[in-house]
Amino acid sequence: MAKDDKTKIEQRELSEADRERLEILQKSEEVKGEQLSINLDDEIVVENQAKTLLDKKIDDPVEKFQLYYHGLARLLKDNLPKGKENESARRIIYDEKNILINRGAKKNEKGIRGSDGRMAYIEDLEMAIEIVADWLSKKGSPVDLFMAFWDKNEELGYGHQD
């Protein structure tokens, strides 16, 4: 705690409870960015939270863009049946794909999903691309692609669009 802060505190009349709170706050300044925790052996461990966050993989927005637009969306657009007469079939497949990449988020009664596939986790986008690539390699039908997304959603417990 800075000298000026101590002077300001000393000039006030504080209750015992107020002094205890200030003492806790003063001690908290000594461990900035660190968290005390107890490990499995009941030992107190000081963990640097900033370092823990930096060690985690953080999604790359450029990679997400590439995977979504130049990967998944492009593969589907180029390989699903085209034309107005096939629009509803494409929509059904897109809905099942979107449930997968949005980790189970479905559209509500107003048609709002509340989640954006363009912001999906990289590993989910990669999983969807893998499904589409497998479908293409087997020269499957749109039904086969829909069922591949369906099966993966079932496996992950996400359910399906009503």
Q: What is the pLDDT of residues 61-103, one digit of tens each?
A: 889 999 999 999 999 999 999 999 999 999 999 999 999 999 9
Residues 82 and 127 in one domain: yes
The pLDDT of residue 35 is 55
Please report which helix (H) or strand (E) contains residue 54, including its range. Answer: helix 49-55
Residues 117 and 41 in one domain: no
Domain that holds residue 43: 3-55
Listed residues 30, 55, 80: the one ending a domain: 55
Please report which helix (H) or strand (E) contains residue 90, including its range. Answer: helix 87-101
Residues 49 and 123 in one domain: no
What's the predicted TM-score (pTM) here? 0.65
Residue 140: CB partners within 8 Å, gap ≥ 6? 148
Residue 58: CB partners within 8 Å, gap ≥ 6? none
- Tell whether the torsion through CA atoms of 162, 149, 114 and 53 is positive or negative: positive
> How far is residue 156's CA from residue 158's CA, in Å, rounded to a whole number?
6
Residues 65 and 42 in one domain: no
